Amino acid sequence: MARVDPYKNFRFLVEIDGITQAGFSECRGFGSEVEVIEYREGGEPTAVRKLPGRAKFSNFTLKWGVTDSRELYDWHRAVLQGQIQRKRGAIILLDDAGTPKLRWVFLPRSYTPLVVNGRIGLGSRLA
């Protein structure tokens, strides 16, 4: 019988402060947007110039995770107790061989809630 490795399905790794913490099978919400500022010059009233404005970044969502570390949970628990610790991190995309292919770095700007859901194993697949 072939070995079933549950970690193989988790192609997105989360790295916090340089240490890999967990693997996730789904990652959504990467995006950015630059607002447009319309500007009319006094000498040219019929033309409107468009200048780049404020950059906005969307929140990302990681789903269906697995880890053998408590550090993510402990970080979330500290926030619940009012101790906000901003940390630098990255999300790493792995190829089929498990080699890192892409890396998205997130900076310690503001805290976004972490939602922790327990999952129950069902045979060879996860709930």
Q: What is the tens place of the pLDDT at every residue in 62-94?
A: 777 777 778 877 877 887 898 877 888 888 888
Give the SS3 label for residue 123.
coil
* CA distance readout (Å), 76 to 13, 59, 81: 18, 17, 9
Provide DSSP, 85-103.
Answer: ----EEEEEE-TTS-EEEE
Q: Could you give the CA distance from residue 116 to residue 43 in angstroms, rounded to a whole number? A: 58
Q: Which residue has the tokens 């402990």?
A: 74
**Confidence band for 111, pLDDT divided at 50, 70 and 90:** low
76: tokens are 């979330």
Side-chain half-sphere CA neighbours of 94 within 13 A: 19
CA-wise closest residue to 8 among 127, 120, 125:
125
2-48 pLDDT tens trace: 444 555 677 888 888 877 777 888 888 778 899 999 988 877 778 88
pTM of the model: 0.61
